[in-house]
Amino acid sequence: MASPARVDLDGNPIRPITICMIGAGGFIGSHLCEKLMAETPHKVLAVDVYSDKIKHLLEGPASLPWTDRIHFHRLNIKNDSRLEGLIKMSDLTINLAAICTPADYNTRPLDTIYSNFIDALPVVKYCSENNKRLIHFSTCEVYGKTIGSFLPTDHPMRQDPAYFILKEDASPCIFGPIEKQRWSYACAKQLIERLVYAEGAENGLEFTIVRPFNWIGPRMDFIPGIDGPSEGVPRVLACFSNNLLRHEPLKLVDGGQSQRTFVYIKDAIEAVLLMIENPARANGHIFNVGNPNNEVTVRQLAEMMTEVYSKVSGEPPLEVPTVDVSSKEFYGEGYDDSDKRIPDMTIINRQLGWKPKTSLWDLLESTLTYQHRTYAEAIKQVTSKPLAS
């Protein structure tokens, strides 16, 4: 029996489209490619300088149902004239390409600004000039610090959601001084958002801007010394996974007091698919995508990951599970932090009916099971090697 036709949120049949996905080989791109191949008829022109995280989709047997629907184009969007052709061949462009690890923002601010602003410019221009729809990935970091963070620590207004909930159409963007180079990323992302928005307002570009709030899950970043540089500093999930795999205490930057809300990558990807398949509801909007129910301090995250890792690995938790480290020691000069990030969900809920489902405990359990299965053996081999004299 033929499967029923897929319909959008308004009951209209969904037409198969071609998507130019820039940054398809990264964490979010790999999950989005998987979803599009497994559950939709759409074609993907996957653009990236790396393909390791989507190898399983590209190199599977010819019998896989999607072999003709995904093609990899190894190119650097900084300097490759093939980019415009790929955008022209597609109905929709999704731009995920970016330098987006905080350790780079204050140590490689020029690369960060070029990657997040200058390199994204031609993508916006080609979409606008060729009347192609664009889904651009920004960040929750454009909100910067909360208004409440400027109140005295024990001030009662700090408990008032008006002082900390982050709302797409109302909250200001509050960054630290220029010498705090941490904000180079947020500032570049903010300017490209303004440019995309202006192209929409002045030239009719059909756009959607996504602000991810700490999406986490398998394949995020790298484990230093295993599938990334030994001295590299990935985002917190991979840093803490690395510590747990190596049986060393988790490092809490400046006491681990900052707060984050974490959303499971698979929940978040469902929101992106809704944006792709419901252009009339998604165009012209900026969407927070996060899970307001999964808020923890970084210290609480460390404690929960320690407990979950012990459960999934069968190993006893470390006697001293965490150690404090200053941000200067960990990230170097110019680091600063967002204090708290709770997304307002009104707009995405109203436009796309999307809500996150997975609790922090459950998403850590499936993610750390993956980390243990993927890396524990490799770490054992590296750590058991005698040191060269």
Q: Which residues are catalytic?
A: 185
Q: Judge whether 241 and 368 are in contact, CB under 8 Å.
A: yes
End-to-end CA distance of the chain: 67
Query: Could you tell me which of 216, 211, 212 has the C-alpha nearest to residue 265?
Result: 216
Instruction: Select the residue interacting with ligand UDP from 53, 69, 251, 266 (CB under 6 A).
Output: 251
User: Counting contacts by CB under 6 A, is residue 100 touching ligand NAD?
Assistant: yes
Nearer to ligand UDP by C-beta: 202 or 231? 231
Residue 215's binding partner out of ligand UDP, ligand NAD, none, with CB under 5 to 8 Å set by partner kind: ligand NAD
We find the least distance from the C-beta atom of residue 296 to ligand NAD, in angstroms, to be: 15
Instruction: Select the residue interacting with ligand UDP from 116, 171, 214, 291 (CB under 6 A).
Output: 214
- Structure token digits, residue 282: 């998604």
Size of the site for ligand NAD (CB under 6 A): 24
Print the binding letters for residues 30-59 with ligand NAD: x by CB under 6 A, - otherwise. ------------------xxx---------
Q: In this structure, which amino acid lies at residue 330?
A: F
User: Counting contacts by CB under 6 A, is residue 286 touching ligand UDP?
Assistant: no
Q: In this structure, which amino acid lies at residue 71?
A: H
Print the binding letters for residues 209-248 with ligand NAD: x by CB under 6 A, - otherwise. ---x-xx---------------------------------
The rounded distance, in Å, linking the Cα atoms of 344 and 287 is: 9
Nearer to ligand NAD by C-beta: 41 or 122? 122
78-82 long-range contacts, Cβ below 8 Å, gap at least 24? Answer: 78/114, 78/119
Q: Which residues of 34-49 are buried (b: 16+ CB within 10 A; e: fewer)?
A: bbbbeebebbbbbbbe
User: Counting contacts by CB under 6 A, is residue 256 touching ligand UDP?
Assistant: yes
Query: Could you tell me which of 358, 162, 187 has the C-alpha nearest to residue 261?
Result: 358
Residue 256's binding partner out of ligand NAD, ligand UDP, none, with CB under 5 to 8 Å set by partner kind: ligand UDP
- Structure token digits, residue 244: 């747990």
Q: Judge whether 86 and 47 are in contact, CB under 8 Å.
A: yes
Q: Is the dihedral of CA 104, 294, 238, 231 positive or negative?
A: positive
The rounded distance, in Å, linking the Cα atoms of 310 and 370 is: 14
Residues in 320-339 at the binding interface with ligand UDP, rule: CB under 6 A = 337
Instruction: Select the residue interacting with ligand UDP from 43, 73, 189, 260 (CB under 6 A).
Output: 260
Residues in 62-81 at the binding interface with ligand NAD, rule: CB under 6 A = 76-78
List of E strands, 173-284: 207-212, 215-216, 250-253, 259-261, 263-264
User: For binding to ligand NAD (CB under 6 A), which residues are involved?
Assistant: 23, 25-29, 48-50, 76-78, 96-98, 100, 115, 119, 137, 139-140, 212, 214-215
Residues of this chain that bind ligand UDP (CB under 6 A) = 102, 141, 214, 235-236, 239, 251-253, 256, 258, 260, 298, 337
